[in-house]
Structure 1
């Protein structure tokens, strides 16, 4: 059974993967000179969409894996690799192509509902965030476990909502250097967690790796 400190770790992981601070410049570029009302509307819509995506991943994600015949240990390794790719990009203060590739970035202006696509999916609640929620969800099956992860998701979404609403103010206060420092710190945390997922998956697939001499 996970301890309360583990749920703090889950919160930090989700915050690092969703990375609202890192997404600020991208969202600001999409909105351009949009009004405050437009920015507030994007914040509310994105918050609802991200909540829905992560809750679906939390409650039925593992069932989908079983439906497709994917073992949780295999998913831990693939999820760990995905998080590591994201972390390596974050350590360079870049947006990983697993979140948004060049072609998607060039066609942003064609999206009428940018709050859903591409802000919510795949920029914020993309494959990395979905994988993270599914991997942590399978670590317990009690009501308490799912309730605490749900609270973690809501806390991350609340921070996301605040960040999007105050993008102009935060951009002026942090500057590009401050944003890059934060992204790199989150990338460092994410890389360590990615290794944990991969190591756990390898031990599950190959029990001999955890055997003592």
Structure 2
């Protein structure tokens, strides 16, 4: 993709990357999780926790986006192989979201939850930044998008995730009103819609990986 090309296809690709991140990070469904983890904290502390968590998540995705090719070379991983495994992982997370069940690879364990409550600000790193916001599925999605092309793909991937982090911060800070408005049933509906989108993105990643590994399928 030409870095300076800004046509319909480019806009569609940018939206696809953004929606992929939005579906897997799902700020609407994660807002009640954030509110639960910060229950009892004042507004200033909540804003600080939200900011630290999202900065940490952004740095994690930034590192994996920038060093994706280095990691591939270091471990002898090919892009098609990563897309196949990443596609399976992302599709499974989406499938579980479709059934309104939390993903085991994208949710904090009971031990994480218990440990995080011991210190308010520790919640920002674990379990919020990792694994809720920048879990394996998010990392796999970022590396797949960033490794698909040159500078343009990298810029789109990082830019889309940065925008989503800003949107997620707003959801977290003003989340109480949103969750009251939607109710649990509304949150569940949105989670299932995001799960469907995520499952489709995962299958597309899998298809692209198979085509790369077996050119005869193309």
CA pair 86-68 structure 1, distance change in 2 beyond 3 A: same
Residue segments in structure 1 that go unaligned for 5+ positions in a row? none
| 2:148 alignment partner in structure 1 | 139
User: Would you say the 8 A contact 2:80–2:209 is kept in 1?
Assistant: yes
Contact 1:58 1:137 in 2 (8 A): yes
**1:67 positional shift:** 0.7
Alpha-carbon deviation of 1:116?
A: 0.9
Check conservation: 1:57, 1:133, Cα contact below 8 A. Answer: yes
Which of 116, 120, 124 does residue 133 from structure 2 map onto? 124
Q: 2:198 aligns with which of 185, 190, 201?
A: 190
- Structure 2 distance, partners of 1:182, 1:8, is 18
TM-score (norm 2): 0.90
Q: Distance in 1 between matches of 2:74 and 2:143?
A: 14
User: Bigger CA drift: 42-51 or 95-104?
Assistant: 95-104
1:102 deviates by 4.0
Name the CA distance, whole Å, in 2 between partners of 1:125 and 1:41: 18
The question of whether the paired residues in 1 share the 8 Å contact of 2:53 and 2:124 is answered with yes
Quick one: which of 156, 162, 168 aligns to 1:154? 162
Work out the CA distance in 1 between the residues paired with 2:155 and 2:143: 14
Aligned length: 209
Contact (CA 8 Å) 2:108, 2:127: kept in 1 or not?
Answer: no
| 1:52 equivalent in alignment to 2:51 | no
Residues 1:65 and 1:145: Cα distance change in structure 2 (over 3 Å):
same
Is the 8 Å Cα contact of residues 111 and 117 (structure 1) preserved in structure 2? no
- Structure 1 runs of 4+ aligned residues shifted over 6 Å read none
- Relative to the length of structure 1, the TM-score reads 0.92
Matched, 1:43 2:43: no
Aligned counterpart, 2:6: none
Decide whether the 8 Å contact of 1:87 with 1:191 is kept in 2.
Answer: yes
Give me the whole-angstrom Cα distance separating, in 2, the residues matched to 1:134 and 1:105.
Answer: 26
What is the CA–CA distance in structure 1 between the aligned matches of 2:167 and 2:77, rounded to whole Å? 33
